[in-house]
Amino acid sequence: MFEKLKIVSLSVHHLGFNEGIELVTERALERKPSYVCFANVHMVIEAYKNRSFLEMLSKADLVLADGKPIAIACKILHHKKQERICGMDFTPRILEKANEKKLSAFIYGSTTAVISSAREKIISSYPNIRFAGAISPPFRQLTEEEIKNDIEKINLSGADLVFVALGCPKQEKWMAENSNKINSVLLGIGAALKVFAGLEKRAPAWMQNLSLEWFYRLIQQPGRLFKRYVYTNSYFLFLLVRDWIKALLKNNDSKDQK
């Protein structure tokens, strides 16, 4: 299995983009119950503050370095180059692979409008994929009976891949609690579904390269994202610097002892 690199509290898998695609494809072909998380700064901070959430993430089959700051942190803390494996890039690439292997896809989460647009794009761009179905659950706490019915619908659909778009941390909790009951690979892609569907623009490449994709989203939705980004980004930077200093002191102590 691939090595894990600890970033603040959350450990991400140290692997390349193509390796991630291959692993997910293999599990989808086997219809092996599993779930994949795409770790960004928000997720790391949520995991740092909430131990039960951290435990849910630690049980994921793959935790991928979604955010550029996470990939950079791997280099700073562990001196290892980590390729960014962003959900927005991973979604179309895994669909290409699914089209090649003639797999089936299901969408769980988001709105009916987003699902409709994503469905049309999948059908038109990936003709070998069977669109197995979709569920847009109500924006409230679901009853056990509702969850059971949703799981039954997914399993009966024969889906190989399930794109889960409930937002962090809700989608990760849902996957952790239900993955073992679903014969599919669950991918927690969040807002990437809306971008894939063409209903939300993505930051230009130069902003992505400078780790400013969060700022582009903030400009688009300042009311909803201001507190989240200002707080989480600042807190993450503080914790990253703290851990970097700890690592430096530890290395110096080791040298002195020699």
pLDDT of residue 240: 95
Sequence-separated (6 or more) residues with CB below 8 Å from residue 95: 105, 122, 125, 126, 129
Would the pLDDT of 258 be above 60? no
Q: Report residue 94 CA to chain centroid gap.
A: 13
pLDDT over threshold 80, residue 171: yes
pLDDT tens readout for residues 39-94 = 999 999 999 999 999 999 999 999 999 989 999 999 999 999 999 999 999 999 99
pLDDT at position 201, please? 81
**pLDDT score, position 254:** 60
- How confident is the model over 133-162, as pLDDT tens digits? 999 999 889 999 999 999 999 999 999 999
CA–CA dist 60, 31 (Å, integer): 16
The domain spans of the chain are 4-198
Residue-level pLDDT at 250: 77
pTM, full prediction = 0.91
**Do residues 17 and 94 lie in contact, with contact meaning Cβ atoms separated by under 8 Å?**
no
**By C-alpha distance, which of 126, 125, 185 is closest to 154?**
185
For 199-254, write each residue's pLDDT tens digit. 888 778 888 777 777 777 777 778 777 777 788 889 999 999 999 999 888 776 66
pLDDT at 218: 77
Per residue in 84-137, pLDDT (tens digit) is: 999 999 999 999 999 999 999 999 999 999 999 999 999 999 999 999 999 999
Token couple for 140: 């409230």
Q: What is the spatial distance between Cα 233 and Cα 217, in angstroms, rounded to a whole number?
A: 13
How far apart, in whole angstroms, are the C-alpha atoms of residue 70 and residue 59? 19
pLDDT at 257: 61
| Rg (alpha carbons) of the chain, rounded to whole number | 19
Residue type, 84: R
In 69-169 the beta strands, taken as DSSP E runs, fall at: 104-109, 130-135, 161-165
**Structure tokens given for 235:** 């807190």
